Amino acid sequence: MGGTKKKPLSASAKAQEASTPQIQTEKKEEKKGKGGPKQQQKAKISVILDEKQGLKTLSALKAITPHALARNLGVKISIANAFIRSLESQGSVRCVGGYSGHKVYELLQQPQQEPQKKEAS
């Protein structure tokens, strides 16, 4: 009652082609020769942030986050994050809040050294 159905002509032709290994290897070689669309190499872009420009932008921000800095400077977030981390290691900014990858920083005012006055005794 429920035997196999007769395959259409196109399916039987494909099955016949698949059974001959020589034809398959020739088709693979043709495909390799064409290569299709070539992949372009990714260009390495180096971005250098000027520390003066970065600190000026940071002083204008209400909440210092990597996203806000990247948006204002027009750079990628990873570059802004690296810049903020370098400032944190120098002691110019410190982390005041946030969680995980969403941290909020505070700009520390560098105390300007006043010339020491000699006391007259």
Q: Tell me the pTM.
A: 0.53
CA–CA dist 32, 18 (Å, integer): 19
Residue 92 has pLDDT above 60, yes or no: yes
Predicted local distance difference test score (pLDDT) of residue 11:
80
Token reading at 74: 């027009």
Predicted local distance difference test score (pLDDT) of residue 67:
93
pLDDT tens digits along 49-89: 788 888 888 888 888 999 999 999 888 899 899 999 999 99
- Reduced to 3 states (helix: H, G, I; strand: E, B; else coil), residue 82 is helix
pLDDT tens digits along 8-42: 888 878 877 776 665 556 666 666 655 556 666 66
Q: Angle of helix 51-60 relative to helix 77-90, nearest 10 degrees?
A: 90
CATH architecture group of domain 51-107: Orthogonal Bundle (1.10)
CA dist 59 → 13, 83, 92, 94, 99 (Å): 73, 14, 11, 13, 22
